[in-house]
Amino acid sequence: MQKRILGKSGLEVSALGLGCMGLSFGYGPATDKQHAIKLIRAAYDKGVTFFDTAEAYGPFANEELLGEALEPFRNDVVIATKFGFKEGKTALGTDSRPENIRAVAEAALKRLRTDVIDLFYQHRVDPNVPIEEVAGTVKELIKEGKVKYFGLSEAGVQTIRKAHAVQPVTALQSEYSLWWRDPEKEIIPTLEELGIGFVPFSPLGKGFLTGKIDESTTFDKNDFRNIVPRFSEENRKANQALVDLLGKIAKERNATAAQIALAWLLAQKPWIVPIPGTTKLHRLEENVGSAEITLSDDDLKEINEAVSKIEVQGARYPEQLQKMVGR
């Protein structure tokens, strides 16, 4: 697989990463451990060198899983993890106090079976701790050799600028896809100006853009999508138009809707590295195949024109979670 460099940092990763959250958290029961290890190692065999986790995924279980799965080839991969929630639990709210950042780093190193965290993201901006203090703490961890690069997740433009002035931000991780294009307004121009890479999560719209979800789909009782307005039955029905369009374009190019959605993201900027997640080996193969698809300027124009006529229905987060993004 081709490689990309995240912004001006020099951090080289595979053009597509693997978002590992869904193996342990967020989308129903955790995947069987041996199957999950097999999937992670299969991704590596297919050229994926960038793996994304967080202490909050489980909590802790996902880091432990990744640590075990990647141990045989630790030096050949880039592992990103995150700090910033009380006790690693999203329900308890944010905690980016310096002492917590340090404690999370030490614990994550053990769980990941490594002596350095390649990319350490603040999971969500903490309104109670100045971002300069957060960036300063990560800067110290970098000097101590425990962390290599600093990242932010779902941060707003002002926060990105303030953090970057203290410790260069290597990557911003936020949602971005054909059905959530808000970052194009302010975020992407800011990242381009500052030389920061962009790591879109949910590049397939939490599975919706694959075309495998419709109005009649039922999710596991523990599936996060049950509380997402965009996934209400009514909105799924309304948003089907976007999936139908992607399917039509994909068919013309002998690809799948998911592959077109990922290829579109890769075509936006050379420093964008999407991290689709999956629990299925055949989906992993499908996603990896998107890195081989090159969309021409005419293709991109056709997709943009067609998509601009469709208004996606429903918020991407329930209200209480929406308040935590873009700060």
Token pair 């999203």 is at which residue?
90
Where does 5-130 have alpha helices with state H?
33-45, 61-70, 98-111
The length of the chain, given as a count of residues: 327
Contacts of 153 (CB under 8 A, 6+ apart): 82, 121, 122, 123, 124, 172, 173, 174
CA separation for the pair 248, 235 (Å, rounded)? 21
Where does 88-186 have alpha helices with state H?
98-111, 131-143, 157-166
Full 3-state SS string of 243-293: HHHHHHHHHHCCCCHHHHHHHHHHHHCCCECCCCCCCCHHHHHHHHHHHHC
Contacts of 257 (CB under 8 A, 6+ apart): 209, 210, 211, 243, 246, 247, 250
Contacts of 107 (CB under 8 A, 6+ apart): 55, 60
Q: Supply 33's token pair.
A: 């451990």
Q: Which is the catalytic residue, given 57, 121, 149, 176?
A: 57
Q: Supply 303's token pair.
A: 């997709």
- Whether 57 sits among the annotated catalytic residues: the reply is yes
Pairing label, strands 147-153, 3-6: unpaired
Q: Supply 283's token pair.
A: 């989906």
C-alpha torsion 78→66→205→261, nearest 10: 50
Q: What is the dihedral sign for C-alpha 159, 151, 273, 16?
A: negative
CB 77 within 8 A of CB 70: yes
Catalytic residues: 57
